[in-house]
Amino acid sequence: MTLLLGALTIGLLLAMLAFGVYLSFRIFNFPDITAEGSFTLGASVCAVLLLAGCEPLLATGAGFLAGFVAGALTGLLHTRFSINGLLSGILVMTALYSVNLHVMGKSNVPLMSVRTLLTDMEQLAGFLAQGAPTVQLGPWEVSTRDLAALGGGFALVCIVGFALHWFFRTNLGTAMRATGDNAQMIRALGVNTDRVLILGLALSNGLIALSGALLAQYQGFADVQMGIGMVVWGLASVIIGEALVGTATLGFLITGAVMGSVLFRLLVAVALRWGLDPNDLKIVTALFVFLALVGPRWMRKLRAPRASAAEGAR
């Protein structure tokens, strides 16, 4: 049960990553690799501030802001200096590796015995459960602490999800979606598409850094390596979400990203439980995204010759 709750919680925290990846890859069609650096950046900035005794909510917000700046930088490189989008992201990501080491001062910062959002949530849950270490949830006996983390994650995802849903329907958010859909058109309607792209990438990386900050607090440490493979991870979540609920409306897309993230984390937890070598996790993730991208095309090809043969027979 603890394993399941843990996977659910991490899935929820990584849903912010899925939002960010969705924003850059799907809305702008911009392959933004900055994420790998900004995820760690959010975690390291947050961790260092927490160690300094900063209010957890503020430290988490600072993580978001750090990612926001990193994303804006990538956007700036791409628009002002016309550097290829992928390369802009790679440049910032590479630079961020050094930045992260400097922020943390070493490659790993443990957050043991430090006040974090997690300990705050646990305290709140302990208060609500009147100090009971476990709570009866239907047929299951669940640890209050696990439940606290899950509840906190769920609340945060709801807040961020609703905020995004609101933002994308404002005038600015609509213009942002249009920039990804048809830049020529929205320029002809008076929108500075460069500026919108910078803002969009900033927001995307802010969300990804937020995800990193939350994960660091949940797992109790920030590590300079923790961002590796996060773009593919986020993509996998987005793809699963789209397959699950479709892309009909904004609400579906956002819910889909959350569900995709949770489901993917659950799948990974199950695979690890069944004896998947943790070292193989990244290659399995990459293979999964590869199949999800290519699979539909193969299916069409497999179907197409038969369809044309049938027409020929007629």
Partner 1 sequence: MLELRDVRRTFHPSTPNEVRALQGVSIDLQPGSFLIIIGTNGSGKSTLLNAVAGTFFVDSGTIRLAGHDITRWPEHRRAALIGRVFQNPFSGTAPNMTIAENLALAARRGQPRGFGPALDRRVRQEFRDRIRTLNMGLEDRLDNAIGSLSGGQRQALTLLMATWRKPDLLLLDEHTAALDPKSADQVIRLTDELIRRDRLTTLMVTHSMQQAVNLGDRIVMMHRGQILHDLQGPDRSRARPEDLLSRFEQVRRREQMDANVAALLQRSYV
Among 82, 136, 184, 279, binds partner 1 (CB under 8 A): 184
When asked if residue 257 is in the footprint of partner 1 (CB under 8 A), the reply is no
**Interaction of residue 78 with partner 1, rule CB under 8 A:** no
Alpha-carbon distance of 245 to 259, in angstroms, equals: 9
Amino acid at the residue 278: P
Binding segment for partner 1 (CB under 8 A), chosen from 72-80, 169-177, 215-223, 233-241, is: 169-177
191 counts as binding partner 1 under rule CB under 8 A: yes
Does position 186 interact with partner 1 (CB under 8 A)? The reply is yes
User: Counting contacts by CB under 8 A, is residue 76 touching partner 1?
Assistant: no
List C-alpha distances in Å: 116 to 7, 9, 111, 196, 257.
20, 16, 8, 34, 26
Q: Do residues 14 and 192 make contact, with C-beta atoms less than 8 angstroms apart?
A: no
Using CB under 8 A as the criterion, what x/- string covers residues 120-159 for binding partner 1?
----------------------------------------
Compute the least distance from the CB of residue 37 to partner 1, in Å. 29
Region from 50-58, 173-181, 204-212, 273-281 binding partner 1, contact rule CB under 8 A: 173-181
Q: What is the dihedral of CA 129, 133, 136, 139, to 10 degrees?
A: 160
Question: What residues contact residue 65 under an 8 Å CB cut-off, 6+ apart?
Answer: 206
Residue 192 binds partner 1, judged by CB under 8 A: yes
Q: What are the two backbone dihedrals, phi and then psi, of residue 134, each rounded to the nearest 5 degrees?
A: -130, 155
Q: Is 176:29 a contact under the CB 8 Å cutoff?
A: no
Contact flag: residue 309 with partner 1 (CB under 8 A): no
Binding site residues, partner 1, CB under 8 A: 167, 169-175, 177-178, 181-182, 184-193
